[in-house]
Chain A
Amino acid sequence: MDNTPQRYSAWALLRARLAGPGYWRSLWSGAKLKDGYDVVVVGAGGHGLATAYHLARDHGIKRVAVLERRLVGYGNVGRNTTIVRSNYLLPQNHYFYEDALRRWERLSSVLNYNVMYSPRGVLDLALSDGDMVDLARRGNAMRLAGIDAELFDRAAVLKFAPELAASGPRRFDIVGGLVQRRGGTVRHDAVAWGYARAATALGVDIIEDCEVTGVQSAGGIATGVETTRGYVKANRIVFAVAGHTGAIGRMLGIPLPIETHLLQAMVTEPIKPLVSTVLVYVHPHGEVYVTQSDRGGVVMGGFLDGFPSYTREGRWYRLEDVVQSAVGLLPQIAGLRILRHWAGTNDMTMDGSFIIDRIGHDNVFVNGGWCYGGFKTIPASGAACAAFVATGTAPDLIRAHGLARFKTGHLLDERGGGPFPVRQ
């Protein structure tokens, strides 16, 4: 029986209508675990699925499996605040994130799956003259790299995001902002589903409910992975386990420059369209970002909880910080009720930038350390990681992101926080 998911088109809709119920095959389930693969990707989240997809599509590697401990998209790809942007300061970062944003713009047609990319803009706000200096510096760095950035004064900010003009008690007035118009949001679950479907169509086996418990090696080369469903031979292994990369280091006996911290997000009851863009305010002691989901809920997130934890139990005082900051920007949402609130585990690295590199063996790779910014990079990460795994050489876009940077001192410390994961 053919398990390949059908392509979506107007004709497919018509055929499905004529064929009646039961026409659509499932998007990814049904693959049987084989004895061995060319590449085993551990983790069916955004990065793992995108890596598998690009291995099959760009490099012609047909025997690829994605092993997932639970279900496709059950981890951080389904727990984030869906924001995509490329407004980074350091060149090693902004070219990579820009590559991701260019891929987001075309992803729905590339995957033949609507990921609902919404370029509603990302507006970083300045509430003081000092903030404006910082934003101007970042905007100039972006523009020099050919990335769109516009510095707004107060009037332009209020024109761009009229919801900020609402009268109400505002402790700190808005001075200006930096906007990236191509930034915005993407439907996060659709990204996991779309990549899973596209990878399945290319012959990738996606195996759910299959936890990897160890790596076997012989003669300095990894030969396969131990899983809860038995041993699987693998010529190459990629770990893409956002939020649990520290656990991979522990499993392999390799200390990593990573700590696991919690980040919270929350969403209010749905309301009519209010927040027209992605509002962000960053200051030395915290951060807040506010968007409105397509369903109408106001989605908010902020800073790390502040200490290492694997519990996924967010601290109440951080929830309060985030809500207070959000109400500080948008006084009119003060009366809304929080509908859901959750915490996710984050791989926080020592410099706040991600790691794609070999780990332990020549044929074992790690794609992790995404801190709290992994979602927005999924398409670029998948392409770059697949190129690294297939060719054995890191592509230019991620050459600076190896583990060696911590030894050589070429850190990519976007925030200037020093070697403290909690401050990144």
Chain B
Amino acid sequence: MNRLECPFCGPRELEEFVFHKTLPEAGASEYAAVYERVNRIDDSLEHWQHLRGCRAWLRVRRNPSTGEVHEVELLGGGRS
């Protein structure tokens, strides 16, 4: 995992992006959303920001064991 594909800027160096947090599981309680992690080894849904680029907020689905990025989409565009 050396790059992320920003919906506006295209593939950019990972250094330009900042990881913000891991997103809660579907149906998680408010407590679980803040404090609990399932720690899946093959799938992680996260908020990132293209901070040193267009500053867009992104939802990223990737595999934390291989670094493979499955999906990058704009936060607020598409699924909520």
Chain A interface residues toward B at CB < 8 A: 246-247, 249-250, 255-260, 306-311, 313, 315, 317, 350, 406-407, 419-420, 422
Least CB distance, A320 to chain B, in whole angstroms: 9
Q: How far is it, in angstroms, between the C-alpha of A325 and the C-alpha of B22 when the chains are bound?
A: 28
Name the B residues within 8 Å of A249 (CB-CB).
Answer: 37-39
Name the B residues within 8 Å of A308 (CB-CB).
Answer: 19, 22, 44, 46, 64
Name the A residues within 8 Å of B41 (CB-CB).
Answer: 247, 250, 310
Q: How far is it, in angstroms, between the C-alpha of A260 and the C-alpha of B32 when the chains are bound?
A: 17
List the 10 closest pairs (A to B, CB-CB), nearest first: A246-B39, A307-B19, A255-B36, A317-B15, A310-B65, A406-B35, A257-B35, A308-B64, A309-B64, A419-B34
Least CB distance, B9 to chain A, in whole angstroms: 18
Q: How far is it, in angstroms, between the C-alpha of A306 and the C-alpha of B46 when the chains are bound?
A: 12
Q: Which of B15, B32, B46, B67 sits near A255, CB closer than 8 Å?
A: B32
Instruction: Count contacts on B: residues with CB < 8 A to the other chain.
Output: 26
Name the B residues within 8 Å of A250 (CB-CB).
Answer: 38-41
Q: Is the CB of B64 within 8 A of A255?
A: no
Name the A residues within 8 Å of B13 (CB-CB).
Answer: 317
Interface residues of B in 28-67 (CB under 8 A from A): 31-32, 34-41, 44, 46, 48, 64-67
Q: Is the CB of B39 within 8 A of A247?
A: yes
Listed by A's residue number, 13 A-B pairs whose Cβ atoms lie within 8 Å are: A246-B39, A247-B39, A250-B41, A259-B39, A307-B48, A309-B67, A311-B66, A315-B15, A317-B15, A350-B35, A406-B35, A407-B31, A422-B21
Among residues of A, the one whose C-beta sits closest to the C-beta of B44 is A308
Name the A residues within 8 Å of B22 (CB-CB).
Answer: 259, 308
Least CB distance, B57 to chain A, in whole angstroms: 15
- Check if B72 is an interface residue, CB within 8 A of chain A: no
Q: Beta-carbon contacts of B1-15 to A below 8 Å, as 1s and 0s?
A: 100000000000111
Q: Which of A257, A307, A406 sits near B46, CB closer than 8 Å?
A: A307
Least CB distance, B37 to chain A, in whole angstroms: 5
Least CB distance, A421 to chain B, in whole angstroms: 8
Q: Which of A256, A313, A407 sits near B37, CB closer than 8 Å?
A: A256
Q: How far is it, in angstroms, between the C-alpha of A389 and the C-alpha of B38 when the chains are bound?
A: 25
Given the known A-B contacts A306-B19, A310-B41, A311-B67, are A256 and B36 also in contact in the complex, defined by CB atoms under 8 Å? yes
- Check if B75 is an interface residue, CB within 8 A of chain A: no
Name the A residues within 8 Å of B37 (CB-CB).
Answer: 246, 249, 255-259
Q: How far is it, in angstroms, between the C-alpha of A424 and the C-alpha of B41 when the chains are bound?
A: 21
Q: How far is it, in angstroms, between the C-alpha of A246 and the C-alpha of B64 when the chains are bound?
A: 13
- Check if B18 is an interface residue, CB within 8 A of chain A: yes
Given the known A-B contacts A307-B46, A309-B64, are A257 and B36 also in contact in the complex, defined by CB atoms under 8 Å? yes
Q: How far is it, in angstroms, between the C-alpha of A201 and the C-alpha of B29 when the chains are bound?
A: 49
Q: Which of A255, A260, A306, A311 sits near B18, CB closer than 8 Å?
A: A306
Q: How far is it, in angstroms, between the C-alpha of A257 and the C-alpha of B35 when the chains are bound?
A: 5
Q: How far is it, in angstroms, between the C-alpha of A67 and the C-alpha of B19 when the chains are bound?
A: 35
Least CB distance, A355 to chain B, in whole angstroms: 12
Q: Is the CB of B64 within 8 A of A311?
A: yes
Name the B residues within 8 Å of A260 (CB-CB).
Answer: 39, 64
Name the B residues within 8 Å of A422 (CB-CB).
Answer: 19, 21
Q: How far is it, in angstroms, between the C-alpha of A190 and the C-alpha of B45 when the chains are bound?
A: 40
Q: Is the CB of B35 within 8 A of A310?
A: no
Q: How far is it, in angstroms, between the C-alpha of A123 and the C-alpha of B37 when the chains are bound?
A: 35
Q: Is the CB of B19 within 8 A of A310?
A: no
Q: How far is it, in angstroms, between the C-alpha of A260 and the C-alpha of B44 when the chains are bound?
A: 11
